[in-house]
């Protein structure tokens, strides 16, 4: 068994145990309604987390995604209000913009050999600023097409709704899994995460791959923005502040090594669901304040970082034994 897969198993185990405990207390937690909501409420988070996983696997970080979601919402709302464009056309336009934005950040990171932290931090302010330039108010979206999208769901037995945006999120996860684990691009991502210098000596096209990684994250942030606008039915420049950090947390809880090179996209999905589960529990309980979410997330993060550190040293010891 791969030692690097252990955090993934740990994540899955923790999620299942937590879910079971919740179920013991509130049997209703296992209903399709709760599950449907879990997926729907966290769809936008899941989508950026997939992009973030790829970025983190390569040893990078993308702090711009939260702002890009807000920008996307405003962009869509303003364009729909002020032009006669069909929402689908706006979506295409938006995805082109956010993908290009991500690619530009990737190009800067590689071309100027700058830390991703700095470049995407600048991107974060830029995207937020651009959202403000479009409007400073919350702009409702009134296109009929949006009503259509919001009503698009499959009614599961038990009354739960399997919504369009939940489907988009699961598709994004599936797409991310294929990209990361089944393509040459994915191997290149892991290679860069394992060591950019060595990857270059191995013949990895580091520059092209870096640009593609951040472009992918930008695309996912745009997609997440679309999903978020469907979810909320409006665009607001102050939305999703700090969401990039939540996304990073879900990636780490999902078992991906923060320094890059090891992890699984599927783990990120579990990380997102764990986060959603905690929130749902707090809602069910009713007496707990919502900052408990943050505390539990903080505790889980710490746990996972310690777990990975532990596994790393076990791995090294094993190598010592083999050698």
Please report, as ranges, the residues that interact with another protein according to CB under 8 A.
2-4, 178, 182-184, 186-188, 190-191, 193-195, 198-205, 261-262, 315, 318-323
Residue 253 Cβ vs another protein, minimum distance, rounded to whole Å? 20
Which residue, 36 or 186, is less far from another protein as judged by CB?
A: 186
Cα-to-chain-centroid distance, residue 178: 16
Which residue, 21 or 178, is less far from another protein as judged by CB?
A: 178
Which residue, 11 or 58, is less far from another protein as judged by CB?
A: 58
Beta carbons within 8 Å of 221's beta carbon, 6+ residues apart: 48, 51, 62, 64, 65, 68, 69, 72, 98, 102
Residue 112 Cβ vs another protein, minimum distance, rounded to whole Å? 18
Which residue, 55 or 300, is less far from another protein as judged by CB?
A: 55
220 SS3 class = helix
Residue 66 Cβ vs another protein, minimum distance, rounded to whole Å? 29
Q: Is the alpha carbon torsion for 233, 55, 17, 281 positive or negative?
A: negative
Residue 186 Cβ vs another protein, minimum distance, rounded to whole Å? 8
Residue 234 Cβ vs another protein, minimum distance, rounded to whole Å? 38
Cα angle, residue 296 at apex, residues 292 and 299 outer, rounded to 5°: 140
What are the Cα distances from residue 43, in Å, to 27, 84, 152, 224, 321?
A: 24, 28, 15, 8, 44
Cα-Cα end-to-end distance for the chain = 18
Which residue, 216 or 281, is less far from another protein as judged by CB?
A: 216
Residue 34 Cβ vs another protein, minimum distance, rounded to whole Å? 35
CA pair distance 323, 191, nearest whole angstrom? 23
162 SS3 class = strand
Which residue, 25 or 319, is less far from another protein as judged by CB?
A: 319
């Amino acid at each position: 068994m791969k030692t690097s897969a252990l955090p993934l198993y740990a994540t899955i185990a923790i999620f299942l145990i937590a879910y079971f405990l919740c179920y013991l207390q509130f049997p209703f937690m296992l209903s399709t309604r709760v599950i449907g909501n879990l997926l729907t409420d966290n769809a936008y988070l899941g989508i950026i987390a997939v992009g973030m996983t790829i970025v983190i696997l390569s040893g990078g970080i993308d702090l711009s995604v939260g702002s890009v979601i807000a920008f996307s919402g405003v962009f869509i709302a303003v364009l729909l209000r002020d032009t006669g464009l069909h929402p689908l056309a706006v979506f295409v336009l938006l995805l082109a913009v956010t993908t290009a934005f991500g690619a530009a950040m990737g190009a800067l990171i590689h071309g100027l050999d700058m830390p991703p932290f700095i470049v995407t931090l600048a991107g974060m302010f830029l995207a937020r600023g651009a959202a403000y330039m479009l409007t400073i108010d919350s702009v409702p979206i009134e296109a009929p097409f949006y009503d259509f999208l919001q009503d698009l769901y499959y009614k599961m037995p038990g009354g739960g709704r399997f919504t369009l945006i939940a489907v988009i999120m699961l598709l994004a996860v599936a797409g991310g899994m294929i990209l990361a684990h089944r393509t040459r691009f994915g191997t290149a991502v892991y290679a860069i995460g394992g060591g950019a210098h060595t990857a270059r000596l191995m013949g990895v096209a580091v520059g092209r791959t870096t640009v593609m990684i951040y472009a992918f994250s930008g695309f996912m942030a745009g997609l997440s923005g679309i999903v978020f606008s469907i979810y909320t039915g409006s665009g607001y420049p102050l939305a999703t502040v700090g969401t990039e950090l939540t996304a990073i947390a879900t990636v780490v809880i999902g078992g991906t090594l923060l320094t890059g090179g090891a992890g699984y996209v599927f783990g990120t999905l579990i990380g997102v669901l764990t986060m959603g589960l905690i929130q749902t529990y707090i809602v069910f309980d009713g007496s707990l304040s919502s900052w408990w979410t943050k505390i539990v997330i903080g505790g889980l993060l710490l746990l996972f970082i310690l777990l990975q550190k532990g596994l790393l040293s076990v791995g090294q010891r094993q190598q010592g034994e083999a050698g």
